[in-house]
Amino acid sequence: MSILTKEFYDRNTLTVARDLLGRDIVRVLEDGTQLECRITETEAYIGRLDKACHAYGYRRTARTQTLFAPPGTAYIYLIYGMYHCLNFVTEGEGEPAAVLIRGAVPVKNGDIIAKKRFGCKQEAMSAYQQKNFLNGPGKLCRGLDLTRAQNGLDLTASAGGLYVCTGSPPASKAVKTGRRIGIDYAQEAVNFPWRFYL
């Protein structure tokens, strides 16, 4: 499988959010081990008009600076002081927009991912753990050992140890849309149907 290029991310954020479903995130650990997950859920955030976006109205802070980076950059931030969230910067450089990766399923080295999440191999996971394995942005980052240390990585090259491959995009009829989760503060943006999932 080939790595998704800058051109893939340099498009309308809603298009990218839908098109990321079925693609494979590859995380290369320091010892060279590759963890791989298939994306099953995304959310789009567009700063120029979206009150749920950290850079709404082109607001630049130390936290949001990465949102203005070139398309295909990893934007990782911390919420509630404990959970990391993985986003992929989209659209042209200077246009703050990104796709949050909300959920995935393991494809390669699931036992290592399970160990990072629950301290056990996949086969030893309880039914509850299986149901809640990587079905949230914080859970995904924990399973892939992603933190703010990977913020700003170029997703279009393998050198940084984090990239996305072509994977297996689903049939369009398999893709569902809905309202995004956990943005009750965002006024009218609460109702934007910018969540995509399988």
On the question of pLDDT at 97 being above 80, the answer is yes
Rounded to two decimals, the pTM is 0.95
CA distance 32 to 181: 34
pLDDT for 83 beyond 80 = yes
pLDDT tens per residue, range 126-180 = 999 999 999 999 999 999 999 999 999 999 998 899 999 998 889 889 999 999 9
Longest CA–CA span in the chain (Å) reads 47
**pLDDT tens column, 20-34:** 999 999 999 999 999
- Please identify which residue in the block is written with the tokens 């993985």: 86
- The candidate with the shortest Cα–Cα distance to 139, out of 17, 21, 40, 3, is 40
Q: Find the DSSP H helices in 61-197.
A: 110-118, 127-131, 137-143
Residue ranges of the alpha helices (H) in the chain?
Answer: 6-9, 13-19, 110-118, 127-131, 137-143
> Residue 29: its pLDDT value, please?
96
Q: Residue 82: what pLDDT?
A: 85
pLDDT at 10 over 90: yes
How many residues are recorded in the chain?
A: 198
Q: What gap in Å lies between CA 70 and CA 107, rounded to an integer?
A: 28
According to the model, what pLDDT value does residue 65 have? 96
